[in-house]
Amino acid sequence: MSDILLDMYDLLLDRFGLQYWWPAETEFEVVVGAILTQQTRWENVERAIINLKQRSLLSPASLAQVERGVIEGCIRCTGFYRQKAERLQLLSRYFSENGMDRILGKPVSELREELLSLKGVGPETADSIILYAAHKPVFVIDAYTTRICSCIGIDGGYDVLQRYFEDLLPESVLLYQEFHALIVMYGKEYCARKRCDECIILTV
């Protein structure tokens, strides 16, 4: 019973295989993607990333100084493009002024607090950056995780669910990365548009 999470992980891994998230060439690209993917399909994020790359804007320094409207044009396809452009730029200035490597190298608790103080960076975005850009072990909770947990009788807010996963799982960056990715893969296929009747998690 206490192995419910590992059983779930094995099931998902068997069904979807290793995901090797986060797809990105640089750590800053992970950070940008983390903002852009908020409430947005990843395919649209990829298009925006390509747009930014083509204009050589995928670095803290360049994003920090470019005209806001240029960013908006590149990321329009991700929705919420005006506030995302502003938040990307504020974040870029912060990274550019303080040094991205130095920031990402800080201890988890300190890093998380700093990220959360940035406009547009909430718990999931902060933890995604910590897990996939800083490569430190924090479990990312997203809407699918909350839904799936609720389905199997585990209710709680972000912090409660995060503690639940981190307490029951061995502390491993790779495990946390793959598990979160698998949950999203599963959620996209089975949780969206009331397909709960086909749930394979409940058979665990």
The contact set with DNA (CB under 7 A) reads 21-23, 33-34, 37-44, 76-77, 79-84, 118-126, 128, 132, 142-144, 157, 181, 184, 187-188, 191-193
Give the helix ranges, DSSP H, for the chain.
Answer: 4-16, 27-36, 42-54, 60-65, 68-75, 81-98, 100-104, 108-116, 123-132, 143-151, 158-168, 173-186
* Nearer of residues 3 and 28 to DNA, judged by Cβ: 28
Residue whose C-alpha is closest to residue 49's, from 61, 69, 32, 72? 32
* Nearer of residues 101 and 155 to DNA, judged by Cβ: 155
Smallest gap from Cβ 59 to DNA, in A, equals 20
Give, rounded to a whole angstrom, the gap between the first and last alpha carbons of the chain. Answer: 10
Smallest gap from Cβ 2 to DNA, in A, equals 26
The C-alpha atoms of residue 183 and residue 100 are separated, in whole angstroms, by: 29
Smallest gap from Cβ 90 to DNA, in A, equals 10
* Nearer of residues 69 and 122 to DNA, judged by Cβ: 122
Smallest gap from Cβ 21 to DNA, in A, equals 6
* Nearer of residues 39 and 56 to DNA, judged by Cβ: 39
The C-alpha atoms of residue 153 and residue 148 are separated, in whole angstroms, by: 9
Smallest gap from Cβ 27 to DNA, in A, equals 13
The C-alpha atoms of residue 88 and residue 120 are separated, in whole angstroms, by: 8
* Nearer of residues 32 and 57 to DNA, judged by Cβ: 32
